Amino acid sequence: MKILVIHQVPYRKMSYHLGLDHERHDVTYIGYPQRMADLPAGLRCRRIVLTEGEDLVEGVTARTRADDGYEKVLSLSEFGILEAWHVRRHLGLDGPSLEQIERVRDKVSMKRALADSGIRYPRFEEAPAPCDALPWTGRTVIKPRQGASSEGVTVHDTAREALTAYWKLENRFDVQLEEYVDGDILHIDGLVSDGAVVDMVVSKYINKPVEYLAGAPLGSHQIPDPGGRFHTFAQQVVTALGVDSGCLHLEVFDTAEGELVFLEVANRMGGAGVVNAHLRHTGVHLPSHEIALRLGLERPAADRPTGRYHGWLAVPGHHLHPAAGHTITVPDALRRHPGIDALYVLADDQPLPDHVTYHEWLVPVFIEASHGDPQELEAFLRACARSITVEPAPAARPVTAGG
């Protein structure tokens, strides 16, 4: 099979070789220089490097033709799904329709598609008129219609305050207003095969993704699904949105009353520590299995599960001055804890990240942990979130008034 891979996610996250036999298939990778540089040197493939800053679709279509013989286009990034649709059209290949793609990328389209499903979702407004009030009064979220990692999301105490902030935005046509929902935030990860949710795992966030933007640690830990309550909900969402194949990353509120409320969904693998945690808990390497599903290949054999619940915690640094010389403190008791599976600590001479990221090799501290009891795992990760600190270099600390 001749396959064109739009390479956007770091190779160490994807490990394409685990799900794609490069000796058997004719594989071409195309992408920007920094990403293409992380392809293993010995990987049997063709490599096409785009110009930095070049439009992705224009760059790919300028370097490929319908008669090149490509049979499949593979793009597993949140930011490449729509672009891959344009590339498939250019090459004359079948794939998900534009409407299907919008239902798993655009936060307004996905909620509209749930309107008659019986699934609860937050009330929202995509384009209020200048004199309109919102149909709710309490806490309100402004968020981009597309995107990931909660970038651009703001929370306001009242609907009136949110509207005031909305009308000051230059890009307000690219955002929506949404009522705030109280409750734990869960993420449900797995695969969709012929419209059925399989190999699914439920995890509960430690802190909220939007809080990570302001500098709070973010993590999650796996929890059981007694009676299949979460699986039933995930299947209802997948069916209502017409998701047919690939990875599923579904975020859901679990309210104090025990009601599940849809937050958003993506037809791709989860970020941060999701892939490793999923692999250890289920034996299923999500990227490899998604590759097989997308290409119509036989799914790889699963590894042996650990029999434990797994989780992760990322301590951010993007909100601090990026200069090197920072001080990271991880208490010795945490370093020696038997629940630690992996601990990544940024070296003092490495700069802090200057953008929002969850990659373990970029953030100041990243922890992978596990335990036989999900409550004990949660308690440990929360202790880590409370006790690990990151201080910027002294010269980078902000000057206070009179100081």
What residues are paired with 218 via a beta bridge? 314
In 258-298 the beta strands, taken as DSSP E runs, fall at 260-266
Between 135-139, 149-153, 192-196, the lowest mean confidence (pLDDT) is in: 149-153
Whether pLDDT at 21 is above 90: yes
Same domain, yes or no, for 345 and 277?
Answer: yes
Same domain, yes or no, for 69 and 130?
Answer: no
Residue 101 in any domain: the answer is no
Same domain, yes or no, for 188 and 166?
Answer: no
Residue 105 in any domain: the answer is no
Separation of alpha carbons 28 and 22, rounded Å = 10
Residue 200's contacts (CB-CB under 8 Å, 6 or more residues apart) are 188, 189, 190, 191, 225, 230, 231, 234, 248
The CATH number of the domain where 292 resides is what?
A: 3.30.470.20
The 10s digit of each residue's pLDDT in 97-149 is 999 999 999 999 999 999 999 999 999 999 888 888 899 999 999 999 886 66
Separation of alpha carbons 278 and 273, rounded Å = 9
Same domain, yes or no, for 90 and 233?
Answer: no
Residue 383 in any domain: the answer is yes
Separation of alpha carbons 353 and 375, rounded Å = 31
The CATH number of the domain where 48 resides is what?
A: 3.40.50.20
Residue 401 in any domain: the answer is no
Same domain, yes or no, for 263 and 320?
Answer: yes
The token duo for 84 is 């891959």
- Phi and psi at residue 345, to the nearest 5°: -125, 125
Over range 167-177, report the average pLDDT.
89
Q: Confidence band (pLDDT; 50, 70, 90) for 403?
A: very low
% the chain with pLDDT above 70:
97
Same domain, yes or no, for 215 and 340?
Answer: yes
Residue 108 in any domain: the answer is no
Of the residues 153, 179, 205, the one at which a domain ends: 179
The 10s digit of each residue's pLDDT in 299-356 is 999 999 999 999 999 999 998 877 778 899 999 999 999 999 999 999 988 998 988 9
Q: Please report the pLDDT score of residue 173 as a whole number.
A: 84
Q: Confidence band (pLDDT; 50, 70, 90) for 401?
A: very low
- Phi and psi at residue 229, to the nearest 5°: -60, -45
Same domain, yes or no, for 221 and 250?
Answer: yes
SS3 326: coil
- Specify whether the CB–CB gap between 360 and 219 falls below 8 A: no
Of the residues 163, 179, 195, the one at which a domain ends: 179
Of the residues 160, 179, 198, the one at which a domain ends: 179
Q: Please report the pLDDT score of residue 402 as a whole number.
A: 42
Same domain, yes or no, for 29 and 168?
Answer: no
Q: Please report the pLDDT score of residue 100 as a whole number.
A: 92
The 10s digit of each residue's pLDDT in 46-83 is 999 999 999 999 999 999 999 999 999 999 988 888 89
Residue 223 in any domain: the answer is yes
Residue 200 in any domain: the answer is yes
Same domain, yes or no, for 231 and 144?
Answer: no
Whether pLDDT at 400 is above 70: no
Same domain, yes or no, for 201 and 85?
Answer: no
Between 13-17, 24-28, 195-199, the lowest mean confidence (pLDDT) is in: 13-17
Nearest Cα to Cα of residue 244 among 311, 304, 197: 197
Count of domains observed in the chain: 3
Spell out a b/e string for 36-48, using b for 16 or more CB atoms within 10 Å of the CB, else e. beebeeeeebeee
Residue 249 in any domain: the answer is yes
Same domain, yes or no, for 226 and 85?
Answer: no
Over range 166-195, report the average pLDDT.
94
- Phi and psi at residue 318, to the nearest 5°: -65, -20
- Phi and psi at residue 223, to the nearest 5°: -135, 160
State the chain's mean pLDDT as an integer: 92
Task: Find the domain containing 158 and state its range.
Answer: 123-179
Same domain, yes or no, for 69 and 203?
Answer: no
